[in-house]
Structure 1
Amino acid sequence: MTIGGSDVDAINPSHYQDHPVFSGECWEVMQFCDAATGNALKYLWRAGRKDDTAQDLRKALWYIRQLPAPCTPIIPQAVVDRLAAEATPFLEDHESDVLWLTVAAIMHLVRRQHQDAADLINLAIRKAS
């Protein structure tokens, strides 16, 4: 598809591919998730890169609230370890801004710590609004 003279991948757009902290694509993690976790992850991954940041965060929070607790991990440990290896230096070296809160929420979500992820998202919504 071409929009405004440039090619746009409507199936796998850049806001799911080019995360400022995580390498790879959102789908590489989402493929292991149930629908609610996958959708929450999708909105956290793209927060501020497609639509309004606070709106994406509110959508992620809505999906997290649909999850039963406690849940057993379904994302392979190797995937969680890769994300942690990428997130840890960023989380240690940056301040608690919206991106920091979003990255931390992603890590809690992939570790199935829903309430912790929700708490971080609520803080991010307040900062983004």
Structure 2
Amino acid sequence: MRRTWPEEFNSILNNAEEVTIDLPPIEHEDGSRSEAISRKALKVRIAMEDYERIWPLAEMRYRLDGKRQGKAITLITTNPHYHRWHPADGGSVDNVADSGRHYTTKYLVVHFLLDDVRETAAA
């Protein structure tokens, strides 16, 4: 099934940084070892409020449009293979509203696996 990333959440990806996730080889119960894996990912610092809005999209693959057309992303949240890249504390920022009221915005650092999904078409 092809799902497209919801347009209403495009702004979350605006300041995403492309990074590489390196997974070390894993030793299996039978003594065999898997190879080390490198995966491209998007690293994003987002407000906790935005994270709560995109939480239902976690662990599902979504195709992107716009400048990242031909790519797909998957928000990492609970996958044990990617434990180091699960959502982590991104700090907080204290602000003052126009009304003079003080408030704090909490942030998380999240990672989206980034895959190339361009399809070739017969000419």
TM-score above 0.5, yes or no: no
Question: TM-score, normalised on structure 2?
Answer: 0.30
Return the structure number with greater helix share: 1
Greater Cα radius of gyration, structure 1 or 2: 2
Higher strand share: 2
